[in-house]
Chain A
Amino acid sequence: MTDATQGPDAKTGVTPDTGLRIVEEELAGPVLAADGTPLRRSLNKALRRQKLRALALIAPLLIFVLVTFIAPIADMLFRSVENQIVSETLPRTVVALRDWDGEGTPDEEVFRDLARDLVIAAELKNHTRLGSRLNYETTGASSLLRKTGRGVDDIGEELTDQFIALNPAWEEPATWIALMADEGWIADQAEWAAEKEAAQGPFTTREPAFRLRDGVAEMLPRTADIYADFARLIQTEDRDSPTEEEPWNIVYQALWEDLTLGPVTLPEDEPLLAEAAVAAPTFDALSVTDAFVDMDRDWADPELWGTIKAFSGKYTAGYFLAAADFQLTADGIAAQPEDRQIYGLLFGRTMFMSLTIMVSCILLGYPIAFLLANLPMRTANILLILVLLPFWTSLLVRTSAWKVLLQQQGVINDILVWTGIVSNAGRLALINNQTGTIIAMTHILLPFMILPLYSVMKTIPPSYVRAAKSLGATNFTAFRRVYFPQSVPGIGAGCILVFILSIGYYITPELVGGTTGTFISNRIAYHISSSLNWGLAAALGTILLVVVLVLYYLYDRIVGIDNVSLS
């Protein structure tokens, strides 16, 4: 009787659990199955088949969950670091800004790249989205880009006029095609145009995609670059042909830049270009920087440029920093201005209120669950229905009912005034503040505390308390030392449920919480549906998820998740 495995009442024999272990222990000298294969191998084979069958059974659900739940969450989480929009919308500017030291306004070259980027962005209507994105970091960027988007296509207009004045051929789309387009493409395009001409009825074949001439990119790099984009956009966005459209002003601007800025080696057979190259330095060109600053003086602001530079990467920690009341600037990480530091406050408030709600639920729910668990089955079932009743009414209805009850002219205040507990002038503010949120959410989440508590308490046999009493414990001691510790798993399960549900709740706080009783989730909802700052919403959501997981982990360390009973 000194050793558990040797006593008369020890557990002996091979169980499914010990079977595998025994097999492994005996593998030193391999045990063979009836057909001569090693026993472990045939056992593994049999188990694998079982596992595969089990997997096949859960596969539909697994796929469903993956597609409808995991994938959207992963996508949302990805948004919290994703930041392609700046580098995609301003590809040239981002490259040019690499050499900017963060001091003062960037030089003319950067503005020239910006002009080319923004003309294309405005054509694609991407500039407003970029504006919204930058506005999350620097207030004013949204209006800045909207305004700029309206004026950017005028940049280079004076050069357009001067090129045309020099030689009217510059106005002709055909001149540009001859200069820029690949000869093969010109032939393809002509063939396509002829087919279109000949076709009866609707002609659905698209014009062949524009191709640049070999060598032109080396000869006139900026012009070729922007002209290629121009041709592409004319074809894809406007469903038009570059053979029929006069290039944008920015193309003339680029041509002027090419002709005046770099050493250009022009081929012999381009008299038009040669003529332009001679005349270009004499043109009356305006500064692109000035053009931008004229549209909005914010373009001269180094802070804005700092933001663009800081957010030029494809991925950014900016959303997470913003979620923690920091911001990313050209000089690194800095605290948000004080009037925008709200997330720390909101996270703190969310935690505090969720804990308050959780504790209220325990205080209110424990006695009810105890009562339910100790009543005869039939009475308990009726009471249980009363507990579940709130589940069967819509959340909105319940929350609205709380509004009616809690407001200053509401039922509770009326009763308090009528009984003389408060004066008519001193009606309590029970709604549109934290009190309202705590009251309404405690009510809504109470069943989530009661049910796990009840199911755990029901499994605590009355004999434990009896045993404690027979051993000399008073009612209170029996409860404290014996009953309560055994109901802790129920409290744990209820707490996890209530806490996790409440930190993610937003409808009720939105309706009864006013401005001081709202949660971080309200902020997430605001960023999802109103400000459309999905990246920040995703970052806040990720932080919330991490907080929940950390709490879960702590709970597991302290109480043990095995001790949680949900059924």
Chain B
Amino acid sequence: MSDARETAFVEFERVQKSYDGETLVVKDLNLSIAKGEFLTMLGPSGSGKTTCLMMLAGFETATHGEIRLKGREINNIPPHRRGIGMVFQNYALFPHMTVAENLSFPLEVRKVGKSEREERIKRTLGMVQMQDFGGRRPAQLSGGQQQRIALARALVFEPELVLMDEPLGALDKQLRETLQFEITNLAHELGITTVYVTHDQTEALTMSDRVAVFDDGRIQQLAPPDELYERPDNSFVAQFIGENNTLAGQLTQMGDHRCLVKLDDGATIDAVPVNVSKPGERTLVSIRPERVEIDPELGPDAHTLDAEVLEFIYMGDVFRTRLRVAGRDDFIVKTRNRVGQKRLTPGQHVKIGWLPEDCRALNG
């Protein structure tokens, strides 16, 4: 998505939002979304992601800055004229209307003729595999079914942009996974641009073309899921996305692609410098649990650390081992359950190590 900026479909430029005139909930937001892109806004609650979505939908007005849709500023266009489809957190299906009437509503207000309405409703219900449910009321549907209808209603008037505000939050895990898959497929099939808000990182990683990680009113990192996971820009992103081990230390030596970090207990390790600049700085070193090897057979220049096994958990496909490393008790190592994999016992002393490129020195 490197060409996002050239073909920007949705643009936020220096957008700020304050409710009370004292604090900013959205601070200086700049974001470009390409046509057909599936972008997820991920962040803890209160991070400003939903506010951004609401500003895009037109239910909140930006205090400062510009929001553009297809190059046109939409700050002062009321929501009903923006032509954006939206799926709400609790679906917001009109309880007094049947499924078909719910779907018919956006077409009626657009003065679509009756036969075409019926045709489109049928087609859209088919897309979400709910063609037999047109006569039911929302209350007669299960949560997943309601979710499908909400999606269908947001799609039935063929919007180019669809916003989804934590649409799967109320569903159980299995159903959620099915629907994640269906939604992304549908979005890509129809070529719709989607902005998706969630606080569930798995959802964000599995569905999105790009993920914008929000915290404290800012985008901390905007990147495709793999990059986000493997190359977090800062310790917040590293912590927020997936499981992560951090070790605190001081930068001692700085190279182009390598640096040396002296941990607080005196050991020295190699790391990739991400947002550190000069020796002497405090830094947090981040290593994913599945990239750590126990008793590694690495090159002589690789650094290893001593560790003591505190806990060993059998989790089926993986083993999860908690170690004491460099004075910390919460160092996790995940190993695959494969033939011959060692099972450690608490109290055992081992050596651990990793490839230097898996270890990232982040801001302290």
Contacts and interface: CB of A to CB of B under 8 A. Distances in A.
Chains A and B share a contact (CB less than 8 Å): yes
Interface of A: 1-4, 7-11, 461, 463-464, 466-475, 477-478, 481-482, 485-486
A475 to B, nearest CB: 8
B10 to A, nearest CB: 15
Given A471-B86, A474-B109, 20 more contacts: A2-B132, A4-B141, A7-B142, A8-B144, A9-B142, A10-B142, A461-B92, A463-B90, A464-B92, A464-B94, A466-B57, A466-B92, A468-B94, A469-B79, A469-B80, A471-B105, A472-B109, A473-B80, A478-B80, A481-B105
B240 interface: no
Interface stretch (B33-41, B170-178, B356-364): B170-178
B289 to A, nearest CB: 32
Most buried by A among B78, B80, B82, B90: B80
17 contacts: A4-B133, A8-B144, A8-B174, A9-B142, A9-B143, A9-B145, A9-B175, A9-B178, A461-B92, A466-B88, A469-B80, A472-B110, A472-B157, A474-B109, A475-B80, A477-B109, A486-B96
Contacts of A468: 94, 105
Contacts of B94: 464, 467-468, 482, 485-486
Given A461-B92, A470-B84, A473-B109, A7 B59 contact: no
A523 B78 CA distance: 57
Contacts of B89: 463
Contacts of B154: 470-471
Given A471-B157, A472-B106, A466 B142 contact: no
Contacts of A1: 129-130
Most buried by B among A3, A9, A11: A9
B217 interface: no
A467 B92 contact: yes
A170 B153 CA distance: 106
A474 B163 CA distance: 19
Given A470-B85, A485-B96, A9 B144 contact: yes
A478 B59 CA distance: 14
Nearest to B54: A466
A486 B95 contact: yes
Interface in B136-194: 141-145, 153-154, 157, 163, 171, 174-175, 178
Contacts of A485: 94, 96
A512 to B, nearest CB: 40
B353 interface: no
B83 interface: yes
B117 to A, nearest CB: 13
B282 to A, nearest CB: 44
Contacts of A486: 94-96
B313 to A, nearest CB: 31
Given A8-B178, A469-B78, A463 B88 contact: yes
Given A7-B145, A9-B142, A9-B171, A470 B90 contact: no
Interface residues of B, number: 41
A463 B92 contact: yes
Most buried by A among B58, B79, B130, B153: B79
Contacts of B105: 468, 471, 473, 481
A483 to B, nearest CB: 10
A470 to B, nearest CB: 4
A3 B142 CA distance: 12
A461 B93 CA distance: 11
B186 to A, nearest CB: 14
B132 A466 contact: no
A473 B94 CA distance: 13
A3 B130 CA distance: 9
Most buried by B among A2, A7, A471, A481: A471
Contacts of A474: 80, 109
A509 B78 CA distance: 49
A477 B142 CA distance: 28
A471 B106 contact: yes
A486 B92 CA distance: 12
Contact of A8 (B85, B109, B175): B175
Interface in B82-129: 82-86, 88-90, 92, 94-96, 105-106, 109-110, 129
A1 B78 CA distance: 37
Contact of B88 (A9, A467, A472, A477): A467
Nearest to A10: B142
A7 B109 CA distance: 32
Contacts of B57: 466, 470
B80 A470 contact: yes
Contacts of A477: 109
A480 B130 CA distance: 28
A9 B96 CA distance: 23
B241 to A, nearest CB: 28
Contacts of B133: 4
Nearest to A471: B106
A486 B174 CA distance: 33
Nearest to B131: A2
A481 B109 CA distance: 10
Contacts of A463: 88-90, 92
Contacts of B157: 471-472
Interface in B30-80: 57-59, 78-80
A463 B79 CA distance: 13
A553 to B, nearest CB: 22
A466 B95 CA distance: 14
A11 B90 contact: no
Nearest to B163: A470
A431 to B, nearest CB: 42
B79 to A, nearest CB: 4
Nearest to B81: A472
A261 to B, nearest CB: 82
A464 B92 CA distance: 5
Contacts of A467: 86, 88, 92, 94
The 9 closest A-B pairs by CB, nearest first: A9-B144, A471-B106, A467-B92, A1-B129, A470-B86, A463-B92, A469-B79, A485-B96, A469-B80
B179 to A, nearest CB: 8
A209 B92 CA distance: 84
Contacts of A464: 92, 94
A468 B79 CA distance: 10
A440 to B, nearest CB: 35
Contacts of B174: 8
Contact of A471 (B95, B109, B131, B141): B109
A332 to B, nearest CB: 52
A506 B251 CA distance: 89
Nearest to A5: B142
Contacts of B144: 7-9
Nearest to A474: B80
A437 to B, nearest CB: 35
B119 to A, nearest CB: 18
Contacts of B58: 469-470
A204 B142 CA distance: 83
Nearest to A465: B92
A481 B145 CA distance: 23
A260 B24 CA distance: 117
Contacts of B163: 470
A486 to B, nearest CB: 6
Contacts of A470: 57-58, 79-80, 82, 84-86, 154, 163
A218 to B, nearest CB: 81
A485 B284 CA distance: 57
A505 to B, nearest CB: 33
B126 to A, nearest CB: 11
A469 B84 CA distance: 10
Most buried by A among B82, B106, B109: B109
